[in-house]
């Protein structure tokens, strides 16, 4: 066990890292962040910022010497860097799991190998593979295998010609072609798996995306039809990966009732932010607990909750590029709301700037509060 007062390390400097720092610091840890940017959401709250590239071996050694354990806040951290760190300290999640999850081709093959269904797809590493893809995959979505996020690196394609064009525009990098599915809803399961293999699973979240970016997450106290299946699928994936850390599994529910896995994130997830105000333990505290070898916390939901993402767009209420500070006092005056802003210097459209958790005694109350927030931030 790594005792409070000692150092924990983090690869990455975004908002997920910032919220990890806050949670680890609440438990009494000090946190060192490795991030190439000169400032950022995590670096500005960390106890130590090592400003260096993620592959910089000297910087990695410095991080590993300072910290007894290191975690990551983004899936595109070089797996090789996690291996370098692992020669000196505990690394959760491990390079083997991150390596699978950061490549959509390996990720889908792995999920299917665990007996869990994924969206119909074809791996596309060349024009030839694209030309031999089944006609059933059209209309579809071409997604770059690596480095995509928030709907970036994706193109909706109606036929093979459009797919070939998109493939060329992506620089002919490896991609997956997925059938465009008629989604009834999207779900996600965030869980923590400890060093001893014990798991704590957060309640299943219902998610609404807009333009490929998460907009709203909703949870009620009662389980619903898909709860058990989604939970079991997420657990099977975590066990199959021998995962250590916090993991998110995103699901599609189709109109015919099929439950498919969309993708996995090897870290806390935007759709798990509700846990910060609505659960006994937050997903970020779980991340710290796993790496420190502490017992996992309870994931029990204390109240119905609606999580609203705040994108940079709300700073631009008119079409012109004139910035207006949103009405935070108004948001905070609404009962049951908790505001989390990431301290980003610049508000840009489609950039994640913060989120609001709206809790209520009933889901209807939480939804009512969320509607008031949306009204203020429009
Ligand atoms: P990202 O890595 O950017 O989160 P995703 O693959 O999760 O990429 O896609 C983002 C969103 O786009 C999904 O949450 C979903 O709303 C929509 N989407 C992605 N793939 C499909 C699909 N095959 N059919 C229908 N909608 C999809
Ligand atoms: Mg996604």
**Alpha carbon nearest to ligand 1 atom 21, residue:** 180
Do 341 and 17 touch, CB atoms closer than 8 A?
no
Structural domain total, the chain: 3
What is the reported pLDDT for 378? Answer: 82
**Alpha carbon nearest to ligand 1 atom 5, residue:** 151
* 365 exposure class (CB count in 10 Å sphere: 0-12, 13-18, 19+): middle
* Domain final residue pick, 137, 156, 179: 179
What is the reported pLDDT for 163? Answer: 96
Task: Dig out the tokens for 155 from the structure.
Answer: 């193109």
Does residue 340 belong to any structural domain of this protein? yes
The CA distances from residue 340 to 72, 83, 111, 148, in Å, are: 21, 33, 33, 25
**Alpha carbon nearest to ligand 1 atom 13, residue:** 212
Pocket of ligand 1 (CB under 6 A): 119, 141, 143, 148-151, 178, 180-181, 183, 186, 209, 212, 250, 262-263
Ligand nearest to the backbone CA of 141: 1
What is the reported pLDDT for 278? Answer: 98
Ligand nearest to the backbone CA of 143: 1
**Alpha carbon nearest to ligand 1 atom 11, residue:** 212
Domain that holds residue 235: 183-377
Ligand 1 nearest atom to the CA of residue 141, by list position: 23
* Domain final residue pick, 132, 159, 179: 179
What is the reported pLDDT for 260? Answer: 98
**How are beta strands 352-359 and 337-341 bridged, if at all?**
antiparallel
In this structure, the answer to whether residues 214 and 343 fall within a common structural domain is yes
Overall average pLDDT of the 264-293 stretch = 98
Does residue 328 belong to any structural domain of this protein? yes
* Domain final residue pick, 54, 75, 91: 91
Does residue 213 belong to any structural domain of this protein? yes
Residue 135 has pLDDT above 90, yes or no: yes
What is the reported pLDDT for 150? Answer: 75
**How are beta strands 245-254 and 213-219 bridged, if at all?**
unpaired
In this structure, the answer to whether residues 187 and 172 fall within a common structural domain is no
Does residue 313 belong to any structural domain of this protein? yes
Q: Residue 173: pLDDT band by 50, 70, 90 thresholds?
A: very high
In this structure, the answer to whether residues 80 and 149 fall within a common structural domain is no
Question: ipTM value of the model?
Answer: 0.97
Instruction: Write out pLDDT tens, residues 306-315.
Output: 999 999 999 9
Instruction: Write out pLDDT tens, residues 4-39.
Output: 999 999 999 999 999 999 999 999 999 999 999 999
What is the reported pLDDT for 355? Answer: 98
Expressed in angstroms and rounded, the spacing between residue 215 Cα and the centre of ligand 2 is 12
Expressed in angstroms and rounded, the spacing between residue 19 Cα and the centre of ligand 2 is 20
In this structure, the answer to whether residues 215 and 341 fall within a common structural domain is yes
Does the CA dihedral 239-241-242-244 come out positive or negative?
Answer: negative
CA distance 145 to 304: 36
Expressed in angstroms and rounded, the spacing between residue 153 Cα and the centre of ligand 1 is 11
In this structure, the answer to whether residues 190 and 172 fall within a common structural domain is no
What is the reported pLDDT for 321? Answer: 81
Does residue 159 belong to any structural domain of this protein? yes
What is the reported pLDDT for 189? Answer: 98
Task: Dig out the tokens for 172 from the structure.
Answer: 């002919």
Do 185 and 250 touch, CB atoms closer than 8 A?
no
In this structure, the answer to whether residues 303 and 276 fall within a common structural domain is yes
- The percent of residues in the chain predicted with pLDDT above 90, rounded, is 96
Q: Residue 250: pLDDT band by 50, 70, 90 thresholds?
A: very high
Overall average pLDDT of the 158-171 stretch = 96
Does residue 98 belong to any structural domain of this protein? no
What is the reported pLDDT for 151? Answer: 76
Closest C-alpha to 150, from 212, 216, 73, 75: 212
In this structure, the answer to whether residues 363 and 277 fall within a common structural domain is yes
- Complete edge-to-edge strand list for the sheet that includes strand 175-179: 121-124, 175-179, 140-144, 154-157
In this structure, the answer to whether residues 301 and 348 fall within a common structural domain is yes
In this structure, the answer to whether residues 47 and 138 fall within a common structural domain is no
Does residue 1 belong to any structural domain of this protein? no
What is the reported pLDDT for 318? Answer: 84
In this structure, the answer to whether residues 153 and 248 fall within a common structural domain is no
Instruction: Write out pLDDT tens, residues 317-372.
Output: 887 788 999 999 999 999 999 999 999 999 999 999 999 999 999 999 999 999 99
CATH number for the domain that contains residue 284: 3.30.470.20
What is the reported pLDDT for 233? Answer: 98
CATH number for the domain that contains residue 168: 3.30.1490.20
Overall average pLDDT of the 74-91 stretch = 96
Does residue 263 belong to any structural domain of this protein? yes
Say how far residue 210 (Cα) sits from the centre of its chain: 16
In this structure, the answer to whether residues 200 and 298 fall within a common structural domain is yes
In this structure, the answer to whether residues 38 and 135 fall within a common structural domain is no
Expressed in angstroms and rounded, the spacing between residue 188 Cα and the centre of ligand 2 is 10
CATH number for the domain that contains residue 71: 3.40.50.20
């Amino acid at each position: 066990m790594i005792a409070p007062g000692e150092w924990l390390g983090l690869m990455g400097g975004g908002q997920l890292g910032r919220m990890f720092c806050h949670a680890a610091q609440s438990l009494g840890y000090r946190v060192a962040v490795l991030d190439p940017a000169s400032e950022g959401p995590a670096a500005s709250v960390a106890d130590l910022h090592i400003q260096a590239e993620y592959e910089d071996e000297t910087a990695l050694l410095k991080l590993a010497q300072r910290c007894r354990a290191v975690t990551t806040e983004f899936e595109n951290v070089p797996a090789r860097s996690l291996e370098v760190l692992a020669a000196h300290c505990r690394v959760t999640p491990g390079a083997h799991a991150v390596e699978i999850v950061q490549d959509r081709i390996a990720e889908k093959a792995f999920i299917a190998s665990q007996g869990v269904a994924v969206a119909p797809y074809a791996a596309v590493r060349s024009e030839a593979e694209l030309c031999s893809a089944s006609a059933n995959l059209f209309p579809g979505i071409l997604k770059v295998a690596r480095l995509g996020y928030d709907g970036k690196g994706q193109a909706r394609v109606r036929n093979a010609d459009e797919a070939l064009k998109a493939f060329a525009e992506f620089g002919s990098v490896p991609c997956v072609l997925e059938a465009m599915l008629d989604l009834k809803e999207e779900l996600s399961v965030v869980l923590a798996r400890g060093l001893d293999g014990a798991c704590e699973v957060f309640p299943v979240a219902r998610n609404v995306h807009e333009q490929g970016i998460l907009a709203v997450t909703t949870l009620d106290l009662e389980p619903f039809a898909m709860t058990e299946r989604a939970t079991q699928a997420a657990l099977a994936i975590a066990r199959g990966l021998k995962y250590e850390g916090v993991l998110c599994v995103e699901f599609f529910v189709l109109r015919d009732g099929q439950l498919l896995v969309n993708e996995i994130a090897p870290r806390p997830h935007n759709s798990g932010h509700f846990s910060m105000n609505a659960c006994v333990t937050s997903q970020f505290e779980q991340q710290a607990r796993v790496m420190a070898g502490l017992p996992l916390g309870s994931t029990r939901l204390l109240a119905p909750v609606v999580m609203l993402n705040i994108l940079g767009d709300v700073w631009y209420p008119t079409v012109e590029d004139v910035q207006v500070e949103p009405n935070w006092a108004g948001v905070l005056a609404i009962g049951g709301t908790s505001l989390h802003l990431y301290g980003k210097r610049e508000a840009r459209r489609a950039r994640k700037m913060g989120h609001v958790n709206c809790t209520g005694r009933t889901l209807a109350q939480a939804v009512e509060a969320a509607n008031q927030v949306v009204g203020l931030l429009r």
